[in-house]
Amino acid sequence: MADKKVLERCVQFHKALSNPVRLRIVEELLQRELCQCEIFPKIGLAQSTLSSYLSQLVRVGILAERRDGQRKLYRIANERIANLLELTKKTLQEVIEGTS
């Protein structure tokens, strides 16, 4: 049985991805590392809301951040996260098409 701490972290991970806007942010970052100023026009949220969403995604381990001078750059924290999202999309597409 999974450790209680791991299960709680899993819940937080999936909660973070359950918001469509946060999922769109992650989708943007699957392509390449971006700073908040590059994400902002693509998502169209208030700067403070975007900052809050990015912080949450970093806190649960979906994103990683680094400083480059004055800018904060965000990227997918682990290749397995990208793989998990791709597998999820493929699986759901099969369900929608009735091929699974």
Render pLDDT for 10-34 as a digit per residue (tens, 0 to 9). Answer: 999 999 999 999 999 999 999 999 9
In this prediction the pTM is 0.87
Q: Tell me the pLDDT band of 98, cut-offs 50, 70 and 90.
A: confident
Residue 14: CB atoms within 10 A of its CB come to 10
Indicate the burial class of 53 (C-beta count within 10 angstroms; 0-12, 13-18, 19 or more): buried
Within 10 angstroms of residue 58's Cβ, the number of other Cβ atoms is 16
* DSSP annotation of 19: S
CA angle 85, 33, 9 (to 5 degrees): 45
pLDDT of residue 75: 97
User: Hey, what domains does the chain have and what are their CATH numbers?
Assistant: 4-97 (1.10.10.10)
Query: How confident is the model over 41-80, as pLDDT tens digits?
Result: 999 889 999 999 999 999 999 999 999 999 999 999 999 9
Q: Are strands 63-68 and 34-35 parallel, antiparallel or unpaired?
A: unpaired
Q: Which residues contact 39 (CB under 8 A, 6 or more apart)?
A: 25, 28, 29, 50, 54, 74
